[in-house]
Each structure stands twice: as C-alpha cells, then as structure tokens.
Amino acid sequence: MTPLTSRALLALARRGKPGAVLAARLVGARGEGDTEVPGRHDLYRELWDEAAARCGVVVTELGDGFLALERGGRRRIVFDNQVPLDDPVTLRLAAHKTAAARLLGEAGIPTPVHAAYSIDDLRPARRFLAAHGRCVVKPAADTGAGLGVTCGVESADDLARASVRAARWSGSLVVEQQAVGEEYRLLVLDGRVLGGLRRRPPRVVGDGRSTVAELVAAENERRRAARGRLGLWLLALDLDATLALARQGLGVRAIPTVGGVVEIGTTVNENGPADNETVDVPPALEATALAAVRALGLRLASVEVVTSDPAVPITENDGVVVEVNGTPGWHYHAQVTDPTSAVDVATPILETLFAQDDRP
C-alpha cells in the first residue's frame, strides 16, 4: 500500500460509521457475524442438554438461542454461552481494554505495555510502535471473538491498515506490545479454575496441490458442514492472516508442501479442536488468572495468559494477561484435540446458576 492509499483509507475511516465500515472492508476486515458458522444455538443446546441430564434439570427452548433451565420450581434463562451471573456494568468494564488494563495494573497483574489512541490521531501509536517493535492493534471496546484485532504489526503501513480495520468497531483504539510465548486459556468461576487449554493459531496442512486460499476454503466447507462442531468461526484471510502468512514467506496463492503446516493468522479465536489441548494449569498461571478475575470483579470469565519468558519453566511462569472475557465461549473446552481429555465445565456453571439465592 502506498502512503497516499494509507492516507485515503484513514480519511475514509474518519468519516463516521459508514466510512469506517467501508474502509475496513478495503483492508480485509470481516463484518459482524458474516464469518460465523451456522449452528451456534444447536451446539450450545447440546452442551446444556448434556449438563442438564447430569443435574436433573429440564431444558426448554425459547427460540433464537434462549433456553429456560428448570429444577425444583426454579427457572434460569441462558443465551447460548451467556449466563446471568455478572451484572452489565462489570461485563462492560471487562470488555473495555484500557479500563480493564488499568485495574489489572493497579492489582499488580502483568499485562502488555499499551497505549490508547484514536483513528483521528495515529501519532501516539506511531511513537509506541517505534519504541516497542511488533505490536497488536485492537478496538478499545465493544468487540469479542478477535473482531478487529491485528497481530504482528511492524511497520507504519501495517499500523495504518490495522487501525482502519479496528476502527470498524470503535474510534477508540489500543496498541500493545505483542506478547511472545505459549497461550493458555483458563476458565474461572467463583474463584476456582474449571479448566485450562493450550491454544494455538488456526492452521491448515498442505497437500502439495492446493493453494493456501484453496486449503482455507476447504477447511471452511468442513466447518459449515459440521455446524459448529469443528469451530464456530470460518477462517478469514483478513489483515491478521495476511501478515501471518507474510512472516512464513507465503501468500494466499502459495502452494504448501505435502504435510506443511501453515498458520492462518495469529489470533486464536478462529482455531478448531485440533488447535486446542486440555492441560493441567501450572499453579503460577492459575494464581495470575484468579487475581485478574478478582481485580475486575467477575464471577465467570476466561483469562488468556501468554507465558512471559520462554526461559522460565512453565511451572514458575506467571505469564502476561492479554485478555479477560466476561462472556466466555466455554464450548472451547469441549472441542479439543483429544476428546477424552475434555473437561466438563457446563455442569459446575449450571449448578452455580441454581445455587444462587434468587427468587425462583
């Protein structure tokens, strides 16, 4: 992209919401919901049904993902993975990157160095990039599932495109130093870790004939046919994927060798069961995750922790908290490489809903 094109895209992104949406499309940002695999409601209905059978709970479908869970004259309403445990203000706070980072920092929890900026003024982000090197650009709030997030930003041109992409979701943006290490996801409920995963970016495997784009298209067809059982998101050849491929010396028209593994992007939200491994959570990482959830006042949350120093043994590594999600997608813990190792997180969530001292 030439500097003139960068300036033109930035100018377009600054013209309110319609301009931001159009500019984001020009740099390969996905629109809300258009890459989600059909079947989310069915998948979560199955997971709730399995937990309900273990707990003596009756499930009634209310439509469009809403379920009524009933036991002993008491009723709880859930929506797919979302449950009535945390209040709206706490959830909104957790979803706001800069506000959450401030509270985590005050609690002494390690987080990536970051800076806030806006689509109207990229100068703070440019200075940050010059000082810290490879960075991540993301919207400051109102997103989830990796929407608008671009990793591996290394140049001013990358920064401009990533900012345009993130501005599709919010004019307030965050740039942070990219954490390096293994990524772990810990699901926390009321001060205890229900399960842990080691997560890797989404991958495709070469067959010696197909291009990267063709391999991605084939994987997406598998996911559509599986209706969420192989992942709830399609693989997107967006800006994050473009930068990841470039670091591997590849483009979308490249033909990987037979058995060659290609990472499609850096963010892990679009990965599938083959990319998630159930693990026993090391005590140091568990302590970090519990402290992060406590600092934000959440009851149910997932915490994404990247090991802070490859030279430090994982058993002693407290990691860097890169995300705390108050509406976690807990289906990831059921969709793992080895299904026999999957941890049942739905049952304790369900039992907690009925243990609340609320009116029936």
Domain with 138, as residue range(s), is 1-36+113-178
Burial (CB count <10 Å: 0-12, 13-18, 19+), residue 240 = buried
Query: What's the pTM value of the predicted model, to 2 decimals?
Result: 0.85
Domain boundary among 214, 242, 267: 267
Extract the runs of DSSP E, i.e. beta strands, from 29-87.
58-63, 66-71, 74-79
Residue 73 counted as domain residue: no
Specify whether 246 is located in the same domain as 190: no
The pLDDT, as a whole number, for residue 119 is: 83
From residue 58, alpha-carbon distances to 50, 52, 68, 78, 264 in Å are 11, 7, 8, 13, 41
Find the DSSP H helices in the chain.
3-13, 16-26, 40-55, 88-95, 97-106, 123-132, 156-166, 212-226, 239-247, 283-296, 346-355
Residue 303 counted as domain residue: yes
CA distance 344 to 333: 8
In this structure, the chain runs to a length of: 360
Residue 46 counted as domain residue: no
Residue 74 counted as domain residue: no
* CATH code of the domain covering residue 301: 3.30.470.20
Angle among Cα 326, 329, 332 to the nearest 5 degrees reads 135
CA distance 165 to 167: 5
Specify whether 297 is located in the same domain as 346: yes
CA distance 312 to 189: 28
Strand partners, 173: 117, 139
Q: Tell me, rounded to whole angstroms, the distance of Cα 353 from its chain centroid.
A: 25
Specify whether 287 is located in the same domain as 185: yes
Residue 352 counted as domain residue: yes
* CATH code of the domain covering residue 17: 3.30.1490.20
Residue 49 counted as domain residue: no
Q: Tell me, rounded to whole angstroms, the distance of Cα 39 from its chain centroid.
A: 19
CA distance 5 to 343: 49
Specify whether 290 is located in the same domain as 349: yes
Tokens of 262: 């290609």
Domain boundary among 231, 251, 267: 267
CA distance 159 to 134: 10
CA distance 46 to 49: 5
Residue 213 counted as domain residue: yes
Residue 76 counted as domain residue: no
Specify whether 357 is located in the same domain as 300: yes
Given a contact cutoff of 8 angstroms between Cβ atoms, the answer to whether 217 and 264 are in contact is no
Domain boundary among 234, 267, 300: 267
The pLDDT, as a whole number, for residue 11 is: 53
Given a contact cutoff of 8 angstroms between Cβ atoms, the answer to whether 22 and 33 are in contact is no
Specify whether 221 is located in the same domain as 338: no
Specify whether 143 is located in the same domain as 231: no
CA distance 338 to 277: 7
- Pairing type for strands 183-189 and 172-177 reads unpaired
CA distance 206 to 199: 21
Specify whether 212 is located in the same domain as 261: yes
Specify whether 206 is located in the same domain as 261: yes
Mean pLDDT by 10 residues, the chain (360 residues): 52 51 50 68 96 96 95 95 95 89 92 88 92 89 72 90 84 87 93 94 94 94 92 88 92 94 87 92 89 96 82 66 92 94 96 74
Specify whether 94 is located in the same domain as 183: yes
Specify whether 225 is located in the same domain as 253: yes
The tally of domains found in the chain comes to 3
Q: What's the first-to-final CA gap in the chain, in angstroms?
A: 59
Specify whether 279 is located in the same domain as 196: yes
